[in-house]
Amino acid sequence: MSMTAVILLVGVLLLGGYAVLVYNALVRLKHGVSKAWANIDVLLRQRHEELPKLVEACKQYMQHERSTLEQVIQARNAVAQARDRHDVAALGAAETGLRAGLGQLFALAENYPQLKANESFQHLQQRISGLESGIADRRELYNEAVNLNNVRIEQFPDVVLARLFAFQAAELLRFSEAEKADVDLKQLFS
């Protein structure tokens, strides 16, 4: 075997080894995005199960606030539908509506001392607030996983293998600017 053939064979083996490493890294990133989504999905499902209990606890006290309670339930259903379809853009919009409804519900609860003193309501409010914090934390981790995936599949030379094996960019989970804005307490109590 000539020296040229040996050099060519070593080059092909190195190139093949590099391609395997890049492919495996892309697979890890893709599954990292799926894992991060699954972590968000767990919390969304838990919150989905808690919201009807909260609304039921509020119904007993908040007879005149039916529209707020209905808004929370409709938003809850929109989040569930978007989650089930894995529609990240629709989920972001539905989450914005749900968080606005919950904010309004908790603000209105201030007008009902008996409701605020209700142990079940207090427990559910704390549980949902904790889930909201967890969702925010996991959304950050999800978006980081998406960013790492998307950057890697666009970088050269990884883009060649990413296109060859049809690795897809993932969508960031975004919430609207309205959700990030400060809550206008005057508007909630008027």
Number of folded domains that form the chain: 1
pLDDT in tens, 131-185: 989 998 999 999 999 999 999 999 998 999 999 999 999 999 887 655 444 444 4
CATH number at 87 reads 1.20.1440.20
State which residues form the domain around 87: 3-189
Q: How far apart are CA 78 and CA 120, in angstroms?
A: 25
- Measured CA to CA, the distance from residue 187 to residue 190 in angstroms comes to 5
pTM of the model: 0.75
What's the CA gap between 130 and 91, in Å, rounded?
19
Q: For residue range 137-151, list pLDDT tens digits in order.
A: 999 999 999 999 999
